[in-house]
């Protein structure tokens, strides 16, 4: 648990406190173990247990807050949404460009990292909703792709 070095009347002592529960402590002095009774209860608390809430995925959990375009949407159509909050560094396409599946559309800086936002469908860029330098939030529609 904790180690201490003491010097009392010229004698050196290597002390290790093994455990403390209520008013009892197990102490090791120069390799010899002692059970020590404390005058009052120790204020040392046991390590608390961390209880975390159940994690819920933030993407596509319901149709109302879908973060990516729906696979059931007409072929070549849909929206590209921001997967996380960040700043648009570069837009690689313009309105009217034909894009292919997995083509890089936008570079997004988030958490000091550059993230490549790629097309999840082939189609034609119908609208670009943000320009370089603008901040976006998770779920914001970045582009609209139509057939």
- Per residue in 88-138, pLDDT (tens digit) is 999 999 999 999 988 999 999 988 899 999 988 888 999 999 999 999 998
What pLDDT, on the 0 to 100 scale, is given for residue 44? 56
Give the span between the Cα atoms of 58 and 138, in whole angstroms.
9
**Residue 76: which pLDDT band, with cuts at 50, 70 and 90?**
very low
Looking at the DSSP bridge assignments, the partners of residue 108 are 88, 115
Cβ atoms of residues 57 and 139 within 8 Å: no
Give the span between the Cα atoms of 130 and 143, in whole angstroms.
8
pTM to 2 decimal places: 0.48
Number of DSSP helices (H) and strands (E) in the chain, helices first: 0, 12
What pLDDT, on the 0 to 100 scale, is given for residue 120? 85
Give the span between the Cα atoms of 82 and 110, in whole angstroms.
10
How large is the average pLDDT for residues 78-83? 88
């Amino acid at each position: 648990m904790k180690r201490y070095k003491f010097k009392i009347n010229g004698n050196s002592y290597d002390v290790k406190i093994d455990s403390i529960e209520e008013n009892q402590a197990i102490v090791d002095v120069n390799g010899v173990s002692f059970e020590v009774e404390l005058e009052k209860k120790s204020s040392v608390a046991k390590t608390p247990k961390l209880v975390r809430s159940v994690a819920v995925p933030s993407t596509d959990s319901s149709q109302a807050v879908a973060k990516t375009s729906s696979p059931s949407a007409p072929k070549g159509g849909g929206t590209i949404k921001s997967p996380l909050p960040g700043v648009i560094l570069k837009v690689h396409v313009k309105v009217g460009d034909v894009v292919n599946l997995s083509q890089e559309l936008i570079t997004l800086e988030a958490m000091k990292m550059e993230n490549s936002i790629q097309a999840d469908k082939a189609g034609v860029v119908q609208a670009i909703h943000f320009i370089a330098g603008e901040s976006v939030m998770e779920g914001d529609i970045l582009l609209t792709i139509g057939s």
